[in-house]
Structure 1
Amino acid sequence: MVWCHGGLSSALDATFFDAAGKRRGAEVIAIDRPGIGRSDYRHLPVIGRWPQLVETVADSLGLGRFAVSGWSAGGPYALACAALMPERVRAVATLAGMAPLDHINQAFELGLWADRVLIPAAQVSPHVAAALVRVSRAAPDRYLASEVRRTAGCRDRAALNGEPLGWVVDAVREATVNGVRGTADDYRRIGRDWGFELGSVRQPATVWQGNQDALVPAKHARRLTNSLPRGTLRMVDSSGHYLPALIADDVLDDLSPR
């Protein structure tokens, strides 16, 4: 499974799949988007260009067919892979995934202040967006941890006790370890046309959504499911945005070859 990390995060959030991958005999390959984490910066004009980079990685690893999944703002990148690499991608899943923003005002549906501010700002000026990312980067770890707990649902808050909470904070910190330009670009791409049509995703597509998600509301999951020809909505009871902490085994089982 190729994993597409969340927004304001990095490939380190795939840590939630380590144990599940070992239990299921699955290889999980997580790739930082350009300029995020340890990835070199390069201009990526639209989300629909991301599959070209994934294909390069897949070729270098000798992968044939594989599944893709993505969390939050990583969901669109997973769907792009399915739409534009139909011969390679056999199934796709989104976890608390974002739907397209038909109007920039829809950014204000999102529960994270950084999303509500950065998505519109990134459409106006990359320099302003980069400055705002630097502001968010300055928040202390204890503040990030408290925000994760505050915005989680009942079940994911309990699952994030101890070490898993540190995985979320580490993934956020890793995103800007080599600068903020990549994260600012991520916000620019999510707020405009994605460069592919959801209707072109012909593979089985599972849309996982926590019914207590305060960051990416359930209306996004419904819009995605209605737009995907083979979309299936799976609501996770008593859960918020941090679904990777809860359903890694379920996601891998769902994406396993049949």
Structure 2
Amino acid sequence: MSQILETRSGRPLEFQEYGDPDGHPILFFHGLIGSHLQAAYVADEAGHAGFRVIAPNRPGVGRSAFVERNSALEAVPDVEDLTASLGVDDFSVIGISGGTPYALACLLRLAPRIRTVTILSGMGPTRLPGALRGMERRRRLAVEIGSRYPNLARQEVRKWAERFKADPRGFLRYLVSTWCEPDRRLFEREDVFNLFLGDLEQVLVQGSGPETFAQDLALYRNYGFSPAELPSSHLVTLWHGLDDVIVPPAMGWKMATTLPRCEAHFVPGGHFVAISIADRIIAGLRKSRDESLAGRPGGVIS
């Protein structure tokens, strides 16, 4: 069951815990059309490896109240409130897709408390030169226009919400049809399909979908900081599917070459490749956690 935290500003913040309740904490930051449910992608493997996954819903998703923000850095106080309420001191972070700027904002502001950083199919700043190369033209235009004109983005998501409410499964089937073949095959699994239906429900029905979608698009254009500014004391591990058409591999490459310390893995698969390689991701995270105090050189790309 999800829980509600009242933040220092009095806003409700919804979160859910997965994995081992006594394990090393991981803060999991979900994607753009997503919710805390996406932590289930890696929850089983994380639990078996002794990790406690704490997944908050961003403002405007589910029961987390919407709040206007100009930078991903403005989300860090929510993380401070959440970890304080749970008695968590040091922790790791995972950002998947659109959760990337929020995970990296934690590293920038809370580095002494961060053990490891993992980015899955990460949406880096769209202003990085060449970062959107390989993205399907219609999707690229939607990202570029929506990030500049939030009213247009809100109008489009209101239409999505109407279509979803009229036919949830049909809406998702159409969405899946626009993805790469590995993702389409993955969503033939009923458990994966239903999990993402839950994400859409949290965003388009329960939450403030148009507002949070438009705001996140604007933040993806400009995080409020550059990945190059992140502390070189921490290794950032990236995992990216080579067939991804939602966040193209070019984005992962630009992130890998911009971050001060990075270990990047480009693997067969699409945007939701984390579901297929959760065991490798968690094994790598466990290794990084164990080595975090000793440190290791970055810049590894495979």
Higher relative contact order structure (alpha carbons within 8 Å, sequence separation ≥ 6): 1
Partner of 1:224: 255
* Alpha-carbon distance change, 156 to 114 in structure 1, aligned in 2, over 3 angstroms: closer
Residues 83, 197 of structure 1: 8 Å contact kept:
no
Q: Distance in 2 between matches of 1:43 and 1:247?
A: 35
* Alpha-carbon distance change, 226 to 8 in structure 1, aligned in 2, over 3 angstroms: same
Residues 124, 220 of structure 2: 8 Å contact kept:
no
Rg bigger for which structure? 2
Residues 176, 184 of structure 2: 8 Å contact kept:
no
Shift of 1:160: 5.2
Which consecutive unaligned segments of at least 5 residues does structure 1 have? none
* Alpha-carbon distance change, 102 to 66 in structure 1, aligned in 2, over 3 angstroms: same
Partner of 2:273: 243
Q: Distance in 2 between matches of 1:211 and 1:106?
A: 14
Among 36, 59, 80, the residue aligned to 2:105: 80
Alignment of 1:188-199 (within 5 A): 188-191=218-221, 193-199=222-228
Alignment of 1:1-258 (within 5 A): 1-102=26-127, 110-111=135-136, 116-117=141-142, 119-124=144-149, 126-137=150-161, 138-139=163-164, 140=167, 141-148=169-176, 150-154=178-182, 157-158=185-186, 161-176=189-204, 177-180=206-209, 181-191=211-221, 193-199=222-228, 200-202=230-232, 203-237=234-268, 239-256=269-286, 257-258=289-290
SS in 2 for 1:63: coil
* Alpha-carbon distance change, 155 to 100 in structure 1, aligned in 2, over 3 angstroms: closer
Shift of 1:174: 1.0
Q: Distance in 2 between matches of 1:105 and 1:136?
A: 29
Partner of 2:15: none
Q: How many residues align?
A: 255
Q: Distance in 2 between matches of 1:154 and 1:103?
A: 27
Shift of 1:29: 0.9
* Alpha-carbon distance change, 30 to 115 in structure 1, aligned in 2, over 3 angstroms: farther
Q: Which moved more, 1:156-165 or 1:7-16?
A: 156-165
Q: Which moved more, 1:97-106 or 1:44-53?
A: 97-106
* Alpha-carbon distance change, 173 to 32 in structure 1, aligned in 2, over 3 angstroms: same
How does the TM-score come out when normalised to structure 1?
A: 0.88
Residue by residue over 1:183-229, the C-alpha shift from the partner in whole angstroms, topping out at 9 and shown as x without a partner, is 221122212x2112312243111110111111111111111011111
For the aligned residue pairs, the C-alpha RMSD in angstroms reads 2.5
Shift of 1:105: 9.7
Q: Distance in 2 between matches of 1:107 and 1:221?
A: 10
Report sequence identity in percent.
25
How does the TM-score come out when normalised to structure 2?
A: 0.76
